[in-house]
Every structure is written in C-alpha cells, then in structure tokens.
C-alpha cells in the first residue's frame, strides 16, 4: 500500500500468475522522499475491489491498523483473519496480500528501510521483533499512536518532520512490544550483544567502506554467523545495513549542505564519484542530484 494520486504510485495489483510483484512507495522507487507515508486502508483498497494481490516491497516496512470492517491477510504462507483493532506488521521483503470487506478502514504506515535503520539503531530486540511478519490485537496506546500519526502526516504544522519521526519511533516500539508479547520471542543476550557491537563498529568505520568480512573479522566471528544474526534481528543482510548507513549520511549531506556531489563522495571515502552515485541510486532508487532536487522542492 502506498500514496494515492495520479502522479504517484499505482500498484495495479492484478492477480499474479508467475511471480510475486515488487512495489515501491512511489512507483518502482523503493524510497520515500517524506519522513514516512500514511494513508487510509480504503484509499487504495477501493481502487482494487477491496482485494490486494500478493506482492512485496524490497525496501519498505509497513504497519497496518484495521479500525473498522474485516477481511483476511496473507503474510508469506500464513493467513490471518482481520477484525477491528487488528494490527499487522509487514517487514521488508515479506510477501503479503489483503482482502477487505467493503467499507473497511484504518491506516497503513509505510517507512523506508533507511528510516527504520536510523530509528532502531542500538535496539536489537526491537529489530528482532519487527523482522517477524505478524498480526494481532492492538492495545489502546498503539491505536492512539496511529490516529495521532495520521493527523500529523496530513498537517502542515511547524516541526512536522520532527514530530513524525518521534511518532514513528513510538509506533515501532509499541508494535515490537505487541509482536514480542505474543510471538514467543526470546532475547539471546550473546546475539543482541553482537548486533550492538556490529552497529558500534559500523558507526566508526562506515566511511572506510568495510564489508561484511571486515566487520566479522573485527568481531571475531565468521561472516556467515554475523549475517545470520543481523538477518534474524533486522530481516535484512548485514550488507544492507552497511550500504544503508553510508547512504543515510549522504542524504544528510545532500539535504543540508551545498557541497557538490563529487565533494560529498570524497568526504564519504569514495575515490570515484561515479561509484558513489551508483551505490546511492541502487539503495534509494534515485541519483544524488535527483534526491537533492526533490528535497529542495518540498
């Protein structure tokens, strides 16, 4: 699910016959120019006869709350009945589909994976919970957060982006509590410690372009073990977090400085600015210049 509008994303969710489709928030671009995206369930569902065929998002995490109506959700190979008050967690890459009763409503919150990475830095238990596709009952605080977030997203208030980030962090924290309380998650202290040490090293060395083998060597574990722990906690490989960290820094430089793209590339440790542009485009779906123009136009 994603933003409506003729010049934005149209999922064209016809029934699939040979492959699971991948969709991004704005067309095939799997990155959001805004802090996050929020829309009602009805906005998109009514366009597709209340049935959204199986699909997945390569770089987007979604959390859905059904406030009225009902239906069925499919998360990978599991099906879940939906009733008012049901919250659904859809991690990056999970195949999902929905069939809603006509007139159903609620909200869908979509966050780019880089936003989730930033908000959950240093929170391995939260990452682990949110890497689980899950549906269950939302408590009152979680329902209230959805309502507040939807209202703020539609507003033009001062400090909107700051408030949205805070509300997104709250939403993810509350959703992770709900998942962990009912999905049987247990914390493995050694794996949590390893993930925290990996993230600390990532902060210290991301400009040096260390790869998974380098981090594994510094942590005295095998690359396979490090990748398994990171994927279990985040739903994504360690290489994804490595690329996301340097791109997050690049986005800050592009948005808040007047440095040329080549200069930003050099400050981030790239000897070849064209390689930097390719990495940035691969992760965000846009070139650095396109990203800067989009941010300047907001």
Domain of residue 270, CATH code: 1.10.10.60
Domain extent at residue 57: 21-182
Find the mean pLDDT for residues 37-62: 92
Say yes or no: 60 and 165 in one domain: yes
pTM of the model: 0.70
Say yes or no: 171 and 200 in one domain: no
Residue 142 lies in a domain: yes
pLDDT for residue 14: 36
Place 161 in a pLDDT band, splitting at 50, 70 and 90.
Answer: very high
Mean pLDDT score across all residues of the chain = 85
Say yes or no: 165 and 126 in one domain: yes
Say yes or no: 171 and 194 in one domain: no
Q: For strand 21-22 and strand 51-56, is the pairing parallel, antiparallel, or unpaired? A: parallel
Residue 19 has pLDDT above 50, yes or no: no
Alpha helices in the chain (DSSP H): 41-45, 113-119, 124-130, 140-153, 160-182, 189-205, 212-219, 223-234, 238-256, 261-267, 273-284, 288-297
SS3 state at 289: helix
pLDDT for residue 171: 97
Say if CB 21 and CB 96 are below 8 A apart: no
More confident residue, 22 or 271: 271
Nearest to 67 by CA among 82, 78, 53: 82
Say if CB 98 and CB 51 are below 8 A apart: yes
* Total structural domains within the chain: 2
Say yes or no: 37 and 156 in one domain: yes
Domain-ending residue, one of 133, 153, 182: 182
Say yes or no: 243 and 123 in one domain: no
More confident residue, 231 or 37: 37
Residue 128 has a CB neighbour count (10 Å cut-off) of: 24
Say yes or no: 199 and 155 in one domain: no
SS3 state at 62: strand
Say yes or no: 168 and 197 in one domain: no
Say yes or no: 133 and 259 in one domain: no
Q: What is the CATH classification number for the domain harbouring 113?
A: 2.60.120.280
Say yes or no: 41 and 177 in one domain: yes
Residues 230, 119, 200: CA angle, nearest 5 degrees = 50
Place 122 in a pLDDT band, splitting at 50, 70 and 90.
Answer: confident
């Amino acid at each position: 699910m994603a933003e409506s509008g003729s010049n934005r994303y149209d999922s064209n969710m016809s029934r699939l016959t040979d492959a699971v489709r991948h969709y991004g928030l704005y067309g095939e671009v799997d990155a959001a120019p805004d802090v996050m995206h929020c829309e009602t369930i009805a906005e998109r569902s009514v366009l597709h006869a209340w049935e959204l065929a199986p699909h997945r998002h390569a770089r987007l995490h979604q959390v859905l709350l059904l406030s009225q109506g009902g239906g069925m959700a499919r998360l990978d190979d599991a099906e879940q009945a939906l009733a008012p008050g049901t919250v659904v967690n859809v991690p990056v890459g999970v195949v999902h589909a929905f069939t809603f009763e006509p007139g159903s409503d609620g909200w869908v919150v979509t966050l780019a994976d880089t936003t989730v990475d930033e908000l959950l830095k240093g929170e391995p238990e939260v990452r682990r919970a949110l890497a689980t596709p899950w549906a269950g009952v939302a408590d009152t605080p979680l329902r209230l957060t959805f309502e507040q977030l939807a209202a703020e997203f539609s507003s033009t208030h001062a400090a909107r982006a700051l408030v949205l980030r805070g509300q997104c962090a709250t939403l993810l924290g509350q959703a992770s509590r709900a998942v962990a309380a009912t999905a049987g998650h247990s914390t493995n202290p050694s794996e949590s410690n390893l993930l925290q040490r990996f993230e600390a090293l990532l902060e210290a060395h991301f400009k040096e372009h260390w790869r998974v083998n380098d981090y594994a060597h510094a942590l005295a574990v095998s690359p396979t073990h490090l990748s398994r722990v990171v994927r279990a906690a985040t739903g994504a490989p360690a290489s994804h977090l490595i690329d996301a960290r340097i791109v997050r820094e690049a986005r800050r430089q592009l948005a808040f400085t007047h440095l040329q793209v080549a200069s930003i590339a050099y400050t981030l440790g790239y000897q070849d600015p064209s390689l930097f542009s390719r990495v940035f485009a691969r992760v965000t779906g846009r070139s650095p210049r396109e990203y800067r123009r989009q941010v300047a136009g907001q």
